[in-house]
Amino acid sequence: MLASLKGKSVIVTGGSKGIGLGISLAFARAGAFVTIAARGEEAGANAVKELALIGGAGQFLQTDVTDWEAVKSTVDETVKQAGLDIICANAGIFPKQSIEEMEPEQWELVQNTNLRSAFYCTKAALPQMKETGQGRIILTSSITGPVTGDPGWSHYAASKAGQLGFMRTAALELAPHNITINAVLPGNVKTEALDDLGDDYLKKMGQMIPFGRLGAPREVASAVLFLASDEASYITGQQIVVDGGQVLPEGLEAPD
C-alpha cells in the first residue's frame, strides 16, 4: 500500500513543526525525498535531522509562503535537485482575535499565510507538473471554516473555507494535465502550536471529541499520503475530514 510514493519528490510548506513535520516524516518513511519549506532556520535544520534519524532523505529551504518569489524559488530549486511530484500547502497560522479587536493588518496576514500561499504553491508547481504529465497537490484546510466556527478565529475560518473554494475550481483546470488537488480538514490536533491555549483548554477540547482525545500529526499525515499516492489517482477536488468524529455529535457532549 502506498508503495507508489517511493522515490517521489515532495515539498511540505510549514514542514518543520506540528502537522507539517508529521507530514514530512511520513513521506520520508514512505521513501520520498522531502523538501521542508519553512521560515525558521533552526526548526528547519532540526526537522532535516529528524528525517535522517529515520533513514529519510530531504532538505530544508527557508521560505516565506506569503512571498510569491520565495515560493517560486523554493519550487525551482527543488525541481533542479530532485524534480517535483507532490506539493503540500500546509503552512498556516491561527492567532486568536475577535472581529471587534482585529486590525485589518492581522486579517491580511492570516489570509496571505493560509489562503494566498495555497495559490502560490499551486501556481509555482504547475509548470513542472504539466511538463511531467502528473502531479499531486494537497492543501491543509481545517474543520474550522468549512464545517464549524469558533469565536476569535474569523480570519482563520475564512482562509480555510477559501482554500476549498480555490481547490474545487483548480481541480477542474488541472485535471486535463493529470494533476489532482485535494484537501485534508484536521480537527483539533495536538501540536506545540496549541500549548499556549493551556492544559485546561486542551483537556476540554479532548472531552468534546468522540474518541476522547486530540488527534496526532501522524494521523493527518496518513490521509495526506493517501491523497498523494497512485491509489488516489481518480480523486480530485475532494476533502477528507480527520477529526476523530469531532463534528458529528448533535448535543453539547460527546458520547461516552
Q: Which residues are the active-site residues?
A: 156
Please, are residues 38 and 14 in contact by the beta-carbon 8 Å criterion? Answer: yes
Report how far Cα 139 is from the mean position of its chain's Cα atoms.
Answer: 5
Report how far Cα 86 is from the mean position of its chain's Cα atoms.
Answer: 12
Neighbours of 147 (CB within 10 A): 18
Pairing between strand 86-89 and 33-38? unpaired
Exposed / middle / buried, residue 103 (Cβ in 10 Å: 0-12, 13-18, 19+): exposed
Residues in the chain, total: 256
Which three three-digit cell numbers place residue 240?
477528507
